């Protein structure tokens, strides 16, 4: 959890993205935030530039009655992206502070647009969250679901205490539920979002983008509270609505499809999960590019559910193809790179080559120890796998000598 001063900084910077999008500050803000959030990766920088331009289009095209709500939602989403950046890279604080100061010095002239088309109020704040692995899978890592929603109801500032179902009151309730889940009380988060859904439907309408985001949060936290089947059913009901309201390639629609596929697998149908990720992956590649975090997450999950559906050799080959991409995009010590290495080793063993699996886990162990420490759960999981595949390989050697 970021310190309060850093959360204040990211909140200010998120608001500055929204303000700058409609002013002359945009020429400073857009490349500055793209470079910062791109983290030195050219493809990620280009993706951020596209997201920034989409934000500008949403703001300039917003109809007057909903403009304030859209501004608030987009500001919260950019604050979330920046908070994730500072959590992963604390050194970026200095660069963010410098960018904020630079934007503040730009003279300000509002840009007005005559466009009046409606725009969605919800984008993606990617916060990777590993779900619990299937009980019979000995690996410490499994398919990834996406916690990809800011709380879901746009916050608006108010000088007086809002009425219980005023949009700003709903925003406060949504933020509380979201924070409750992140703090570890998944059942309480689920229950709070369950109570919030009917209120959002009454106040905003059943197909308002923020209402759909609240429904997605309910489904996600339902799964995190232990009911994958209920989450699957909730996402299955939500996806066609999101496709119709937001569009089939909107980031939120694709996130809903991602989570539907994962929780379909966790509810017991690995083959269906595999097939859904196989259908989702080319869309991710077309919309975000082959090296984007969303695309790589879908690639990981396709490989994982391919293995869980019974084709260990195909899973091994898919993880073997993913690993060098992960190393290039994220670096050799990144958690997602290490996860891909661990899954490659595991499915190599399951595909029949225990000695190769043993050797891969033996090479992975010192990296886990250096990155996480000797007693971290991820390190201990690799110890377990190394011992397991060492024993299997010795047994195979002994059998071969008989």
Q: Give the pLDDT score at 29.
A: 85
Task: Specify the pLDDT at position 134.
Answer: 33
What pLDDT, on a 0 to 100 scale, did the predictor assign at position 352? 95
**175 vs 151 pLDDT, higher one:** 175
d(CA 276, CA 268): 14
Alpha-carbon gap, residue 213 to 342, rounded angstroms: 33
**Cα four-point dihedral sign 128, 173, 204, 71:** negative
Together in a domain, 292 and 402: yes
Long-range contacts from 91-96, C-beta under 8 angstroms, 24+ separation: 92/36, 93/6, 93/9, 95/36, 96/9, 96/10, 96/13, 96/36
Beta partners for residue 146, in sequence order: 128
> Residue 400: which pLDDT band, with cuts at 50, 70 and 90?
low
Residue pair 37/44 in contact by the 8 Å Cβ criterion = yes
Q: Does residue 55 have a pLDDT over 80?
A: yes
Residue-number span of the structural domain to which 189 is assigned: 162-268
Domain presence at residue 152: no
Return the H-helix or E-strand segment holding 130: strand 127-130
pLDDT of 113 strictly over 70: no
| Domain C-terminal end among 268, 297, 331 | 268
Residues 214 and 193 in one domain: yes
Residue 146 lies in a domain: no
Same-domain status, 285 and 389: yes
Q: Is residue 382 part of a domain?
A: yes
Together in a domain, 209 and 317: no
Distance of CA 335 to the CA centre of its chain: 14
**Is 245 within the bounds of a domain?**
yes
Of 268, 295, 318, the residue at which a domain comes to its end is 268
* Neighbour count for residue 197 (Cβ, 10 Å): 17
Identify the band that residue 88 occupies on the pLDDT scale cut at 50, 70 and 90.
Answer: confident
- For residues 262 and 306, membership in a common domain is answered with no
What is the phi/psi pair of residue 130, to 5°?
-75, 130
306 and 216 fall within a common domain: no
Q: What is the mean pLDDT of residues 13-39?
A: 82
Whether residue 288 is found in the same domain as residue 402: yes
pLDDT of 173 > 80? The answer is no
Angle 186-190-194 from CA coordinates, rounded to 5°: 170
Q: Which two tokens stand for residue 194?
A: 């369950």
> Using one digit for the tens of pLDDT, what is the confidence trace for 100-109?
877 766 554 3
Query: Are residue 295 and residue 382 in the same domain, yes or no?
Result: yes
Whether 18 is in a domain gets the answer yes
Kindly report the pTM of this predicted structure: 0.64
* Distance, C-alpha 347 to centroid of its chain: 25
Last residue of a domain, one of 268, 289, 310: 268
CATH number, position 188: 1.25.40.10
CB 303 within 8 A of CB 61: no
pLDDT at 137 over 50: no
What would the mean pLDDT of 73-90 be, rounded to a whole number? 85
Residues of the chain with pLDDT > 90, as a percent, come to: 47
From 1, 167, 188, select the one nearest 72 (Cα to Cα): 167
- Spatial distance between the Cα atoms of 217 and 178, rounded to a whole number of angstroms: 8
Q: ∠268-273-277 over CA atoms, to 5°?
A: 165
Higher pLDDT, 59 or 242: 242
pLDDT for the residue numbered 102: 79
Residue 213, pLDDT score? 92
Q: What is the average pLDDT score of the chain?
A: 81
pLDDT digits (tens, 9 = 90+) for 207-262: 999 999 999 999 999 999 999 999 999 999 999 999 999 999 999 999 999 999 99
Total number of domains in the chain: 3
Q: Give one DSSP letter per residue of 363-384, joined into a string.
A: HHHHHHHHHH-TTSHHHHHHHH
DSSP character string of 163-182: PTTSHHHHHHHHHHHHHHHH
The pLDDT > 70 percentage for the chain reads: 78
**280-301 confidence digits (pLDDT tens):** 999 999 999 999 989 999 999 9
Name, in order, each residue with C-beta under 8 angstroms of 243's C-beta and a sequence gap of 6 or more.
Answer: 253
Averaged pLDDT, 141-151: 55
Burial of 258 (0-12, 13-18, 19+ CB in 10 A): buried
């Amino acid at each position: 959890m970021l310190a309060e001063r850093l959360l204040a900084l990211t909140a200010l910077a998120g608001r500055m993205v929204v303000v700058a999008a409609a002013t002359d500050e945009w020429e400073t803000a857009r490349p500055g935030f793209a470079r910062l959030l791109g983290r030195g990766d050219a493809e990620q920088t280009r993706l951020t530039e596209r997201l920034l331009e989409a934000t500008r289009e949403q703001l300039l095209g917003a109809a007057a009655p909903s403009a304030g709500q859209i501004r608030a939602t987009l500001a919260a989403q950019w604050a979330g992206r920046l908070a994730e950046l500072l959590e992963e890279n604390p050194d970026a604080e200095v660069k963010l502070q410098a960018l904020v100061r630079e934007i503040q010095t730009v003279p300000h002239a509002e840009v007005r647009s005559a466009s009046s088309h409606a725009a969605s109020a919800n984008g993606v704040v990617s916060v990777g969250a590993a779900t619990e692995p299937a009980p019979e899978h000995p690996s410490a890592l499994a398919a990834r679901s996406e916690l990809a929603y800011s709380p879901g109801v746009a916050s608006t500032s108010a000088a007086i205490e809002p009425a219980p179902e005023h949009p700003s009151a709903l925003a406060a309730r949504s933020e509380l539920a979201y924070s409750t889940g992140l703090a570890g009380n998944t059942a309480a988060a689920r229950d709070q979002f369950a109570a919030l859904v009917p209120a959002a439907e009454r106040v905003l309408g059943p197909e308002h983008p923020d209402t759909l985001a609240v429904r997605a949060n309910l489904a996600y936290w339902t799964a995190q509270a232990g009911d994958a089947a209920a989450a699957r059913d909730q996402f299955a009901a939500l996806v066609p609505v999101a496709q119709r309201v937001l569009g089939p390639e909107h980031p939120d629609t694709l996130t809903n499809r991602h989570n539907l596929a994962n929780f379909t697998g966790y509810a017991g149908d690995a083959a269906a999960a595999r097939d859904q990720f196989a259908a989702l992956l080319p869309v991710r590649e077309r919309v975000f590019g082959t090296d984007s975090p969303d695309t790589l997450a879908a690639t990981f999950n396709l490989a994982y559910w391919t293995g869980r559906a019974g084709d260990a050799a195909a899973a091994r080959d898919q993880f073997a193809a993913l690993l060098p991409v992960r190393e290039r995009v994220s670096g050799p010590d990144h958690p997602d790179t290490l996860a891909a290495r661990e899954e490659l080793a595991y499915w190599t063993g399951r595909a029949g080559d225990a000695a190769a699996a043993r050797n891969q886990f033996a090479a992975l162990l010192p990296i886990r120890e250096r990155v996480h420490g000797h007693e971290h759960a991820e390190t201990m999981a690799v110890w377990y796998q190394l011992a397991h595949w060492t024993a299997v390989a010795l047994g195979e050697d002994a059998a071969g000598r008989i």
